A and B are shown apart, each in its own frame.
Chain A
Amino acid sequence: MAFLRSRLFWIAAAVVVVAALLPFWVSIYLLSVLTAAYYFGVFAMAWDLLFGFAGEVNFGPTFLIGLGAYTAAILNSTAGLPIPVCVVAGALAAVAGGILLAVPALRLRGPYFGLVTLVAVLLLQNFVVIFASVTGGEIGMTVPDVLSIDASVNYWYALAFLVVCAALLFGLSRSAVGLILQASGQDAVEAAALGFNVTKHKVAAFCVSALFSGTAGAMLIFYMGTASVDTVVDIAIGVQIIIAAVLGGRRTILGAALGAVFLIVANEFLRPLGQLNTFVVAAIALAVILFFPEGLLGYALHRGERE
């Protein structure tokens, strides 16, 4: 296991070095695609912490992302607060929203938790549309500040953010707390009988997931310069995140980031197919889920374990 972990570490390090050098090679267009994909990767990793470890399916990742994004955007455009303050505020808003949602929802068993998270997204979406004077409604809102106007700098910001988030979330998943969380997700009764407060650990996981989702959501709008329902709240975005995480591999954290990058890049490369594009990507995702239910990285790791 230690060997595997170190091998995984070296592979990851090599991938990061190559990724960091990309701006010297590739087009600005590809850089912009990857930049968005990296933020998307953080969304997917944060989601995997809930699904892969806590065993809870959150159908509303965009509720947390949207809270972070819109809080940051509104503070920036109305109060003119600097970007770092807005991002921190967005992250905190997502955590607060996450707690408000998770505490009552986790009392429910079975599919109800997932349904509550789904409804939460619709609520947020309606809220944004109704309070159009502050939120920009369906058209969206532009933020006065952006991270940078240089595509390469934006790319490096996104990559650094992804790497830091990946390291933190991966470390957390392999820690003692991660072990307890995994046990709670797999067999809540047994985890409780071993003396672990399952609800406490799951709410904490939800908060951590919200923290990363909210931060990434806020960062994303300062990259794009706009916040709109279609890019950070819509259910379709949430579905993409879920597909990315499952595609990459449940319970791997890193796999989720890979899945997200794959999904976004594939979508762009298949753009010449026109309308068929999304269909082909969805078909690939479906095939992977059907034939490799553990996901791409999960499959690779598991083969390593069996050897």
Chain B
Amino acid sequence: MSGAVRLQVGELAKRFGGVVAVKNMSFDLKAGEIVGLIGPNGSGKSTVMSLIMGIARANSGTIKLDGVDISGWPAHRIARSGVSIVFQHSRPLQRQTVLENVKLALLPDSLLRLATEASVGERAREIAERVGLGGVLHRHPWTLPFADLRRMELAKAVARDPKVVLIDEPFAGLTPTEIKVFSDLIRTLRDEGRAVLLVDHSVKSVAALADRVIAMYLGERIAEGSADEVMQNETVRRVYIGGKIEAVERKSAGAGQAPTLLQLDAVEVFYGKTKALDRVDLRVRQDEFVSIVGLNGAGKTTLFNAISGLVPYRGAIRFGERDLRSQTAASIARGGVVHCPETRELFVHMSVRENLDLGGGHLSKSERQRQLDWVFDLFPILEQRQAQAARTLSGGEQQMLALGRALMMQPKLLILDEPTLGLAPVILGQLSKAIERLRQERSLTLLLAEQNVTFALPHSDRVYVLDHGRITWQGDPVRFAEEMSTGYL
């Protein structure tokens, strides 16, 4: 079914400051082949895509298109040579119609062609009709449903007859019926002899479509083969679920009787028309460590953002005696609900010490010093790196700094969102030890979101499972191991 090698990626490497995003990545893409590039959040798959497209520049390695090395070329030249991309989020021209948006993709890169040729209009119409936009050619993008916007992006990407098509999260936000239509469209691309690379975070969503799947983790390839082979692969299972699920029974002193610290009742969050959280009820008691597990896109981060006052929501969120609804994000944080986000949000141009001092900005001098000593004791590497700019730290060190900065705020409730994101196993061990020490040394309540269940379970008194914005299961970690370990992926 597949033909000549179109795209050859060799020994590709990319660093952002101290963070290694991609290393030693090599693979081929043949004509008439659909390849799925999968990996959990932060594994480097999107970076690989930007490197191929020329949006970011690789530190080393080669990218060959039909044998010609295109690495280091500007994006527009790579596009002209036959690579195109369907972005997950796009900003179409809102004042122009769908047809004009598609026409744009067909225009020559010239400063002198003021008028569009008639053939361009015809061709644009033809392409738009092929992807099913025939009925909405003269509408404006902002009047279209989401699926049609995705069609328009697809139309733009295939307009100039590319040899290689990169598609970022092809099915995100689509209904099952729409997914079927899109799968058929993508198959047509393959049948026309194009090489297609689908980038997605889960194997399942590309399994039916991909001829071959490459799994990435920590910037490297960890498995390659058919979708089934990759799903069965031990390493893949370990990075997605965190390996064998083992529960540790917690001996929490009287957590069952402690007063409720955080209480969520029927919390709902909408992004435009999409419901991201659906009637979530949640209780966290004083000194309890609670985990929320769920795959990417389940709504974990949205839930945390609602608690921290960063997104508007319906329903009620109470912290101790206080109703958090009417409070700003800043006053919620000062009240003791400290959020350590998945994106870390470090002040990257400031030094490690300055980041920590900002966290402890409201403390008295002596208290701040005590807190700082404790954070340095928890993460000795931060003490050595005090004067270094945060951006130059490695990914693991940045996570430690983010956690350290959150602890400097002396949280009553610490909200920790995916601390394991994109981190190597050895770092996970260190983080795990640090979290264990938090429980022993401080009076602290923890709300932890994780995709990596193995990391989360040993630290949990209770577990909630979040799936598509709903709480689908709750119980203690022992029961989780018994009931959920098979059905989770």
A contact set with B: CB distance below 8 Å: 1, 171-172, 175-177, 179-180, 182-183, 186-187, 189-198, 200-201, 204, 251, 305
Output the residue of B77, B85, B109, B113 with the most chain A CB within 10 A.
B109
Structural contact, A187 and B91, CB atoms closer than 8 A: yes
18 contacts between A and B (CB under 8 A): A1-B138, A171-B114, A175-B115, A177-B114, A179-B96, A179-B107, A180-B104, A180-B109, A183-B104, A189-B55, A191-B76, A192-B55, A192-B76, A192-B79, A193-B79, A193-B87, A195-B109, A196-B109
Among A175, A197, A251, A305, the residue within 8 A (CB) of B74 is A197
Structural contact, B104 and A179, CB atoms closer than 8 A: yes
Q: Is B95 an interface residue (CB 8 A)?
A: yes
Q: Is B266 an interface residue (CB 8 A)?
A: no
Q: Which 4 A-B pairs have the closest CB atoms?
A: A195-B79, A192-B75, A175-B114, A187-B91
Inter-chain CA distance A196–B91, complex, in Å, is 16
Q: Which of B31-85 contact A (CB under 8 A)?
A: 53-55, 74-77, 79-80, 84-85
Structural contact, B160 and A195, CB atoms closer than 8 A: yes
The residue in chain A whose Cβ has the minimal distance to the Cβ of B83 is A193
Q: What is the interface of chain A mostly: helix, strand, loop, or mixed? A: helix
Structural contact, A190 and B90, CB atoms closer than 8 A: yes
The residue in chain A whose Cβ has the minimal distance to the Cβ of B114 is A175
Output the residue of B53, B55, B107, B112 with the most chain A CB within 10 A.
B107
Q: Residues of B contacting A204 with CB < 8 Å?
A: 111
Q: Residues of B contacting A251 with CB < 8 Å?
A: 95
Given known A189-B55, A193-B55, contact A179–B111 (CB-CB < 8 A): no
Inter-chain CA distance A187–B93, complex, in Å, is 9
Scan B243-261; emit 1 where CB is below 8 A from any A CB, else 0: 0000000000000000000
Q: Is B2 an interface residue (CB 8 A)?
A: no
Structural contact, B111 and A177, CB atoms closer than 8 A: yes
Q: Is B391 an interface residue (CB 8 A)?
A: no
Chain B residues bordering chain A, tally (CB within 8 A): 35
Structural contact, A190 and B87, CB atoms closer than 8 A: yes
The residue in chain B whose Cβ has the minimal distance to the Cβ of A208 is B111
Given known A176-B114, A180-B104, A192-B55, contact A186–B93 (CB-CB < 8 A): yes
Among A190, A197, A305, the residue within 8 A (CB) of B140 is A305
Inter-chain CA distance A192–B73, complex, in Å, is 11
Structural contact, B95 and A305, CB atoms closer than 8 A: yes
The residue in chain B whose Cβ has the minimal distance to the Cβ of A301 is B95
The residue in chain B whose Cβ has the minimal distance to the Cβ of A180 is B107
> How far, in Å, is A171 (CB) from chain B's closest CB?
8
Among B107, B111, B114, the residue within 8 A (CB) of A200 is B111
Given known A177-B114, A186-B91, A305-B140, contact A1–B97 (CB-CB < 8 A): yes
Structural contact, B93 and A193, CB atoms closer than 8 A: no
Inter-chain CA distance A177–B115, complex, in Å, is 8
Inter-chain CA distance A59–B100, complex, in Å, is 31
Structural contact, A172 and B90, CB atoms closer than 8 A: no
Inter-chain CA distance A171–B93, complex, in Å, is 18
Structural contact, A193 and B97, CB atoms closer than 8 A: no
Inter-chain CA distance A280–B100, complex, in Å, is 42
Q: Residues of A contacting B53 with CB < 8 Å?
A: 193
Q: Is B343 an interface residue (CB 8 A)?
A: no
> How far, in Å, is B119 (CB) from chain A's closest CB?
13
Structural contact, A198 and B111, CB atoms closer than 8 A: no
Q: Which of B395-441 contact A (CB under 8 A)?
A: none
Structural contact, A193 and B114, CB atoms closer than 8 A: no
> How far, in Å, is B252 (CB) from chain A's closest CB?
49
The residue in chain B whose Cβ has the minimal distance to the Cβ of A193 is B85
Given known A175-B115, A176-B114, A179-B104, contact A197–B97 (CB-CB < 8 A): no
Inter-chain CA distance A279–B470, complex, in Å, is 55
Structural contact, B105 and A194, CB atoms closer than 8 A: yes
Q: Is B125 an interface residue (CB 8 A)?
A: no
Q: Is B156 an interface residue (CB 8 A)?
A: yes
Structural contact, B104 and A172, CB atoms closer than 8 A: no
> How far, in Å, is A138 (CB) from chain B's closest CB?
40
Given known A180-B104, A251-B95, contact A197–B76 (CB-CB < 8 A): yes
